[in-house]
Amino acid sequence: MLIPLRDFCRSQREWLLETIESLVRLESPTTDKAAVDRCGAELTARLSAIGGRVTPLTRTDRGNHLLAEFGCLKSQVLLLGHFDTVWPVGQLDRMPLTRSNGRLHGPGVFDMKAGIALGMLATRALLETGAAISHRIVMLWTTDEEIGSGTSRQAIEEEARRSDAVLVLEPSLPGGALKTSRKGCGGYEVIVRGVAAHAGIEPQKGASAVQEVAHQILRINAVQDLARGVSVNVVKVTGGLRSNVIPDEARAIVDVRAPSAAAAAEVEAAFRALRPVDPRTTIEARGGFDRPPLERSDAVGRLYGQARAVARELGQNDLAEGGTGGGSDGNFTAAIGVPTLDGLGAIGDGAHALHEHVDIESLPDRAALIAGLIQRIQ
Ligand SMILES: [Zn+2]
C-alpha cells in the first residue's frame, strides 16, 4: 500500500530539491516583513500549483501566515511549520545555497524550509497516486516561530482544535529520530528596586539594587534541577548608573525550561516567592512560560507508534524518538490535547548554525513517511 507513495516521492526528488531551493533563495528573517512576505508569495504560488486553496492570515508587523487546504473531507490533519528563519537578509552570501557531498546547504534549509517542501511532496503523493485518505490536509505555515509565535499562536491552536492530529515538520533529531517531548520554555525579567544615595557622602542611606540582584541571582539559579530536566539560568544582568551612586535599579533576564506542566508550575511558584534580602529593596518578577511543555502523552505515543510502523513498512531504519530542550509550535498543539508528532521534517544538522544543511538522499523517503502517516491517521 505504501510502496506507490514511496516510488512517487522518489520520482519527484528533483522537484523536491528545486522547491526547497526556491524557498531558501528568498531569505526570510522573522523581523523583516517585506522579505518574509516575498518568500510567502513564492510559497503561495507553489501551494496553489499543487492544488492547494491558500488563505493568507494577514499581519501588520510580521509576515502573513499561510493556510492551505487540500481536499474537502470533513476530518482534517494539520501539517504545521514556519518559514521565518533566524538568518538576516544577505546570509546567503556567507552560507551559499549549494549541493555538495550529498548535502544541501543554505540558511533556513534545515530549520525548516525543507520540512515545508516535504509536506508538499507528501500531499502530492497522496493526491496524485489516488491513495485512499480519510482526512483533508490542512497546512499552516507561520512567520514568527523563531521569536515565540506571538501573532500565530491563536491561529495555530484554532486549527489544531479542528484536527485529529498535528504533524510538525520541524527538523528531526540526529539520524531522523522524531521529537515526542519538548520542554516548555519561557523567560522572566526580575526587576529589583533599591534606594539611591551618594556612594561617598552617605552610603548608609542607600539600598543597592545591584547587591540585591546578586543575592537573587544565586536563589534563582538554585531553582535549576538538571536531574529533573528543569533549567533556570540568569542570562543577562543590568544595573547601576554611574560610579558615585548606589544603584536604585537592577534587572536580571532569566531563561527557564521545564519538561512537564507540573515542573513549570513549580518554577513559576519559585519566581512568585522571591523576597528581598535587604527589606529596603523590592522585587518584581515579570514573565512566565511562553510555550507549555510538549509531554509524551498516550496520544503522542500512539502517533509515534503509527509513524514507526509506517517507517518499517517502507523499509526504513528503525524510527527512533527523543526529546529536546527547544520549543516549537508543537508545544501549543500538544498542550491543548491534540495528538502531536514533531520532528517529522528533514534529516540534517546545524539549525541556527553556519553548517546548516539537510541530507539529500533521505529526503524523498521522509516525504513518503509523512504521506504514509497521514494515510494511517484515524
Ligand atoms: Zn524551526
Residue with cell 540585591: 212
Domain boundary among 227, 258, 291: 291
Pairwise CA distance, residues 218 & 337, whole Å: 36
CA 131–ligand 1 middle distance (angstroms):
29
CA 145–ligand 1 middle distance (angstroms):
7
Do 207 and 149 share a domain, yes or no?
A: no
Do 116 and 224 share a domain, yes or no?
A: no
CA 146–ligand 1 middle distance (angstroms):
7
For residue 155, what is the domain's CATH number?
A: 3.40.630.10
Domain boundary among 261, 291, 321: 291
Do 216 and 174 share a domain, yes or no?
A: no
Pairwise CA distance, residues 100 & 21, whole Å: 14
For residue 266, what is the domain's CATH number?
A: 3.30.70.360
The number of residues in the chain equals 378
Share of the chain above pLDDT 70, in %: 100
Band (pLDDT 50/70/90 cuts) for residue 246 is very high
Pairwise CA distance, residues 122 & 194, whole Å: 59
Which pLDDT tens digit goes with each residue over 318-334?
999 999 999 999 999 99
Which pLDDT tens digit goes with each residue over 191-240?
999 999 999 999 999 999 999 999 999 999 999 999 999 999 999 999 99
pLDDT at 1 over 90: no
Do 39 and 159 share a domain, yes or no?
A: yes
Do 175 and 313 share a domain, yes or no?
A: yes
Which pLDDT tens digit goes with each residue over 88-127?
999 999 999 999 999 999 999 999 999 999 999 999 999 9
Domain count along the chain:
2
Do 168 and 272 share a domain, yes or no?
A: no
Do 52 and 169 share a domain, yes or no?
A: yes
Domain of 169 in residue numbering reads as: 3-182+293-376
CA 346–ligand 1 middle distance (angstroms):
11
CA 227–ligand 1 middle distance (angstroms):
26
DSSP for 20-53, written as a single string: HHHHHHS--BTT-HHHHHHHHHHHHHHHHHTT-E
CA 56–ligand 1 middle distance (angstroms):
20
Do 37 and 164 share a domain, yes or no?
A: yes
CA 203–ligand 1 middle distance (angstroms):
50
| Beta bridge partners of residue 136, listed in sequence order | 76
